[in-house]
Structure 1
Amino acid sequence: MQVARLNLRHLRVFREVAHCRSVSRAAPVVHLSQPAITQAIARLEDQLGTRLFDRRSDGMAPTQAGALFLARVERALALLRNGAREAQRLAARRQGSGSRAGGFADFEALASMAQLRALVAVSAAENFSLAARTLGVAQPSLHRAARDLERLSGLSLYVRTSSGIALTGSAAALAQAARLAFAELEQGFAELDDLAGLDRGRTTVGALPLPRSHLLPAAIEALLARRPEVQVAVVDGPYADLLHDLRHGGIDLLVGALRDPLPIDDIVQEPLFSDPLAVVGRAGHPLGGRKRIGLDDLTAHPWVLPRAGTPTRDSFERLFAGRTAPPCCVETSSLVLVRALLAGSDRLTLISTHQIRHEVATGQLAPLPFPLPGSARPIGVTMRRDWRPTAAQGLFLDGLRQAGRQLSGTGHYSETE
């Protein structure tokens, strides 16, 4: 993490100099001498490997690189400010039981990178020793940073439990803000690399099962054809886990079936194409040769289904509402496992037609002649509401949109099939 090298105070100095366009005018705002400000800017420029200001007779103007990084710094510091206000609000709601005397009202302006990184690490590890190991620091150093942030904020941040350390509500709000601020600054590093002609950026994508077979590969190939040095990391997992990672800055975007209603208002969804479901069995399944299939026929066979709470499982429950559902022997979201279980038996599954296009083309699986009107679901991308993609991430989004248009235009995934 390149962010670990940064000094939050230097970032605040950089922001004020950019606003004031003068070291002398920024000095009283940040409570530093002019030589200290000059030294802070020089240190930051050295860390970033670029010049941030043009020194002119009429003042200091941000360079192109400076303007790019300033936008990210502004967003990061705003996230920390809002996170601190939310942490204080949550403490106040507990009628003062979560607050401690001696804290500073604007404590986020005094917090250090080490203190915030300690908070984030403890929130993930729920243990001071494990958090220290994650950051590669001594446990006493991390513990001191964590407790210093408590004293600075005047908030109770950590609670001992039987299994380790838990965060208070105030701490959780602040930790989320810190993660998002760190992600914002990492985006800033990527934009500076891009400006310098270096493709060292990284896009982390949360992937639900459905888009892994075609949509994601097509978008990744389109991106790497234009930016071969960019790194793309794909993270699999349940929707709830991926949504948490998205909201906390662990992933940049989430691709898969969209949710209705929207689960929380700090994200936005963009549909890419609509995908119907089908009842599927192995090629040569006993029900495959029939002209008509009824629900009684479907209940005569065991099923392989995704876990409860997923959109596909909800569709299955609606299909058999008011009657005895067929037995479900296995719950899984793994297409590899579904394919293997269906291939060696007469089991059935409910799955997206897009997801099994390869298996159908190669004669492994086959949709059964059982109509499922109204089963089409919007497939798309979920992003943080205020997310601002880098240039490479913008290209990746364009690739997803183009792949979605191609799928919509093939005619293979229409509602009438």
Structure 2
Amino acid sequence: MAQDIPNIKHLRACEAVLRTRSFSAAADEVFMSQPAVTQAVAKLETQLGSTLFDRRPEGVFPTEIGHIFVSRIVRMQHYLAQGMAEIMRSARRQHGQSAKLHHLVTSVQLRALVAIAEAGNFSLAARSIGISQPSLHRAARDLEHLCAVPLFEKASTGILLTKLAEGLVMNTKLALMELDQGYDEIAAWKGGRGGRVAIGSMPLARSAILPAAINDLLGQAPDTRISIIDGPYRELLYALRHGDIDILIGALRDPVPVDDIEQTALFDDPLAIVARVNHPLMKQDVITHEDLAKCAWIVPRRGAPTREYFESMFPEEGLRPQSVIVTGSLILIRRLLSTSDQVTIISRHQIAQEEKYGELKRLPITLSDTERPIGFTTRKGWSPTAIQKDFLARLSDIGQRANEIW
């Protein structure tokens, strides 16, 4: 989240100036005086270190940076409006009461809302954004009064969001993400830092796709700031939808679990049953279902496609393995396999290096219908920065060459 959020009314004034090409017309729209609008734009230009508008006798004209930044302001306002509209619909308030409610919210209130949602505690939230606890508490209650619905509730563990507040928090975080994107785009236009790419990574991506894509990108843009979050699919999907990450890489879901995301396939990935190279089953010409049921297995958590396939392999209660370790850690899986007689079901791409160096090997068993589409997931309507587009292009290129690389 952007720690330095400009005055929301000033941002609206800036957008109105670009759209109307006039400071006076913008002043009428945002209910400010013309000198106040002029001052607001000048203050934004100082904060950004860039000129947003050329003032000429024949009118006001946006600079290239002005176009870049205002396009992000427009997207930011869209999310704020959407968040307020959703909360008002839930509260059954009339449309006329809520149509312009997002124009009244302040930057302090937005920061307070997100900080409380993330910290679950007023004191920790205040500390995280550098304001006093009374100031944060006041901002939170003012926002609650503006919405005319309860947003927070006390619990034994701290402060929780109400159901009404959850959608508002998501849209607020997406709005502030747009502001961050705008800062990055201006910095890149001025020849500064490469920008940010925040990635959610599932196991296959960590071992194969992601290292190749990151090395490729950093070779061309070494000042890019890359952050990677590991975790199960459900947590990463939540982070994606809330703007904490930009791209989620790994096995795609069918059907798509929510309607506000888009999936892009890169390549199909088959599964294999894998063990150490000297595993006793490697000596057998024929491996039966009973042989597999006697093995100790390492499997992922429930909900993962690979776990679902594993469960389908042993439909009969009497043939289910007695020893099962559940983990998503590739490091642990590889170590356990190489030092024991345990087996696992895993993507062939994930153990390509171990196969190459003679540490692990696929059992001679053909698994039918196990090819999973591997790719990346993004938010619908997401507008990536240039560096993020570059990263996606590199992912697509690696996907096309996947079978050659691994």
User: What TM-score results when the alignment is normalised by the length of structure 2?
Assistant: 0.96
Distance across 2 between alignment mates of 1:382 and 1:183 = 17
- Output one character per residue of 1:57-97: Cα deviation in whole Å (capped at 9) or x when no partner: 221111100101111110010010011000111122xxx7x
Alignment of 1:312-323 (within 5 A): 312-323=306-317
Tell me if structure 2 keeps the 8 A contact 1:279–1:348.
yes
Q: Does 1:351 align with 2:346?
A: yes
Deviations 1:128-187 (A, max 9, x none): 112112212211110000001111222211122232222122211111111000111111
* 1:297 aligned to which of 291, 301, 321: 291
> Shift in Å at residue 355 of structure 1?
0.6
The equivalent of 2:382 in structure 1 is: 387
Question: Are the equivalent residues in 2 in contact too, given 1:294–1:370 (CA < 8 A)?
Answer: no
3-state DSSP of counterpart to 1:111: coil
Q: Equivalent residue for 2:21?
A: 21
1:326-337 alignment, distance < 5 Å: 326-337=321-332
Whether 1:405 aligns to 2:405 is no
Partner of 2:222: 228
Structure 2 counterpart of 1:151: 145
Q: CA deviation at 1:392?
A: 0.5
Give distance in 1, aligned partners of 2:79 and 2:336: 47
Change (3 A) 1:114 1:107: same
Q: Which residue of 258, 261, 266 maps to 2:260? A: 266
Aligned equivalents of 1:391, 1:295: Cα separation in 2? 51
Equivalent residue in structure 1 for 2:358, among 360, 363, 371:
363
> Displacement, 1:49?
1.1
CA distance in 1 between counterparts of 2:101 and 2:150 reads: 14
The Cα shift of 1:409 comes to 4.7
- 1:104 Cα deviation (Å)? 6.3
Unmatched segments (≥5 aa) in structure 1: 413-417
Instruction: Check 1:104–1:393 CA distance in 2 against 1; reply closer, same or farther (3 A cut).
Output: closer
> What is aligned with 2:282?
288
Identity %: 47
Alignment-derived partner of residue 35 in structure 1: 35
Larger helix proportion of the pair: 2
Distance 1:258 1:182, change over 3 A: same
Once residues 306 and 49 of structure 2 are traced to their aligned partners in structure 1, the CA distance between those partners, rounded to angstroms, is: 49
Equivalent in 238, 250, 263 of residue 256 of structure 1:
250
Question: Unpaired runs of 5+ in structure 2?
Answer: none
Alignment match of 1:196 (pick from 184, 190, 201): 190
SS class of match (1:287): helix
Cα drift, residue 105 of structure 1: 5.3
Deviations 1:357-395 (A, max 9, x none): 111112111110111011010000000011111110111
Query: 1:270·1:382 contact (CA, 8 Å) conserved in 2?
Result: yes
What residue number does 1:54 align with?
A: 54
Deviations 1:98-130 (A, max 9, x none): x9xxx8652211111110111111111222112
Q: Does 1:9 align with 2:13?
A: no
Show the counterpart of 2:114: 120
Match of 1:89 in 2: 89
Match of 1:67 in 2: 67
Letter in 2 for 1:329: V
Give the aligned partner of residue 367 of structure 2.
372
Equivalences for residues 165-244 of structure 1 within 5 A: 165-244=159-238
- The aligned runs of 1:301-312 (5 Å cut-off) are 301-312=295-306
Separation in structure 1 between the aligned mates of residue 191 and residue 285 of structure 2, nearest angstrom: 60
CA distance in 1, matches of 2:249, 2:129: 30
Describe the SS at the equivalent of 1:60: strand
> Residue 253 of structure 1 aligns to which amino acid in structure 2?
I
Q: Which moved further from structure 2: 401-410 or 254-263?
A: 401-410
How far has the Cα of 1:2 moved from its partner?
4.1
Map residues 93-112 of structure 1 onto 2, 5 A cutoff.
106-112=100-106
User: Using the alignment, how far apart are the partners of 1:327 and 1:382 within structure 2?
Assistant: 36
Q: Which letter maps to 2:394?
A: G
Query: Is the Cα contact below 8 Å between 2:85 and 2:98 reproduced in 1?
Result: no
One-letter amino acid of the counterpart of residue 38, structure 2: T
- 1:45 and 2:45 aligned: yes
Return the letter of the residue paired with 1:43. K
CA–CA distance in 1 between the matches of 2:167 and 2:347?
37
Letter in 1 for 2:52: L
CA contact 1:276–1:352 (8 Å) conserved in 2: yes
1:42 deviates by 0.4
Rounded Cα–Cα distance in structure 1 between residues aligned with 2:194 and 2:402: 30
What's the CA shift string for 1:167-208, capped at 9, x where partnerless?
Answer: 122211111111000111111111111111112411110000
Q: Does the 8 Å contact 1:290/1:369 carry over to 2? A: no
* 1:5, distance to aligned residue in structure 2 (A): 3.7
Is contact 2:2–2:177 with CA below 8 Å preserved after alignment? no
The match for 2:156 is 162
What amino acid does structure 2 have at the position aligned with 1:279?
I
Aligned-partner residue type, residue 373 of structure 1? S
**1:290 Cα deviation (Å)?**
2.0
- Larger mean CA deviation between 72-81 and 151-160 belongs to 151-160
* Aligned-partner Cα distance in 1 for 2:322–2:309: 16
What is the CA distance between 1:4 and its match in structure 2? 2.2
C-alpha deviations, 1:261-281, integer Å up to 9, x for none?
A: 101000000000110000011
TM-score, normalized by length of structure 1? 0.94
